[in-house]
Amino acid sequence: MTVLFDRIAFIGIGHIGSSLARVIKRDGLARRVVASARNQATLDKAMALGFVDAVTLDPIAAVKDADHVVLCTPVGAYAEVSRRIGPHLKPGAIVSDVGSVKLAVVEAIAPNLPPGVHFVPTHPVAGTEHSGPESGFDTLFEGRWVILTPPAGTDEAAIARVEALWRATGCMIERMDPAHHDKVLAITSHVPHLIAYTIVGTASDLEEHTKAEVIKFSASGFRDFTRIAASDPIMWRDIFLNNREAVLEMVGRLWEDLALLQRAIRMGDGPALERHFARGREIRRSVVVARQHIPPAPATSSGSANAKKTTTTTTKKNKKKS
């Protein structure tokens, strides 16, 4: 493997950051990996797990001499973090992030970066419901999409270096306009999470059924929603606060469509229900054809089958990985 960076600094080292750090360490993509977090316990875990060379509570110390800084905190912390580290970034350094919203992220970070520092906003469309450095794994991004939303005029060499880093994870790469990104993710990710959080709350609120009963019979569909609703609360709070417009627009569309189905049920309109439901199967088929249906799992356990399968979907440029 080629060394792509001399020193990479992670600000935040949770599920996503630690998964990327594991790939970097595994493939020797950086000479030195440094992590900063607000919590010493998180840093101790990261050190013990062996995918970082040094840790510090001070983000300024972490970014010193780093040629690549990856922001992996909840997106709500990006403005403050970038304000603090901005003046201490090495000239020519690349700053990227892994946030699930992009328009607000660009607005929060870009003004705090000095001239000569390259900003390459990044969103790996992958993850599980778990969080913390112990939950990451080096196959998390295999066969998944990573979206880059670099502002017009961003240095192409800097973009290419970020792409090379991500390619090592086995992912596929797409470039997108940040506003378009936020709309696509609002419907594919943010609204599904909002709905999962809603329904899980509604179910546990039901007074006439004990909570235990809802959980007991959760294998009938509810289970899948609880998995999604187990995602990190702070991370998701920040996503909704930072993608408000697109999320509210998509929720509005959802209300209208739900009202139609609700009415079909009330009126006993079987053909309308059947027509709508039949579309679900077709769409699922497309997801399976696109090989995005296999849930992520560490390669060490039952996920090995998964890793094997997804590897076959990676493009030529990733073949070295299999």
Whichever of 3 and 287 has its CB closer to its own copies, that residue is: 287
Q: To the nearest whole angstrom, how small is the minimum distance from the Cβ of residue 117 to its own copies? A: 29
Partners of 123 in beta bridges: 147
Whichever of 61 and 297 has its CB closer to its own copies, that residue is: 297
Whichever of 44 and 257 has its CB closer to its own copies, that residue is: 257
The residue behind tokens 């950086």 is 30
CA distance 87 to 99: 22
Q: What is the largest CA-CA distance in the chain?
A: 67
CA distance 86 to 99: 18
Per the structure block, which two tokens stand in for 114? 């000095």
Helix (H, G, I), strand (E, B) or coil at 68: strand
Whichever of 1 and 287 has its CB closer to its own copies, that residue is: 287
Whichever of 66 and 172 has its CB closer to its own copies, that residue is: 172
Q: To the nearest whole angstrom, how small is the minimum distance from the Cβ of residue 24 to its own copies? A: 22
Q: To the nearest whole angstrom, how small is the minimum distance from the Cβ of residue 271 to its own copies? A: 8
Q: To the nearest whole angstrom, how small is the minimum distance from the Cβ of residue 275 to its own copies? A: 8
Whichever of 237 and 317 has its CB closer to its own copies, that residue is: 237
Angle between helices 244-267 and 270-289 (to 10 degrees): 140
Q: To the nearest whole angstrom, how small is the minimum distance from the Cβ of residue 148 to its own copies? A: 13
> What count of Cα atoms within 13 Å lies in the side-chain half-sphere of residue 140?
25
C-alpha distances (whole Å) from 174 to each of 13, 146, 166, 180 are 24, 6, 11, 12
Partners of 122 in beta bridges: 148
Q: To the nearest whole angstrom, how small is the minimum distance from the Cβ of residue 170 to its own copies? A: 13
Whichever of 60 and 187 has its CB closer to its own copies, that residue is: 187
Give me the helices (H) in the chain, please: 15-27, 40-49, 59-63, 78-85, 103-109, 156-167, 178-185, 191-205, 211-216, 222-228, 233-242, 244-267, 270-289, 303-311
Q: To the nearest whole angstrom, how small is the minimum distance from the Cβ of residue 105 to its own copies? A: 16
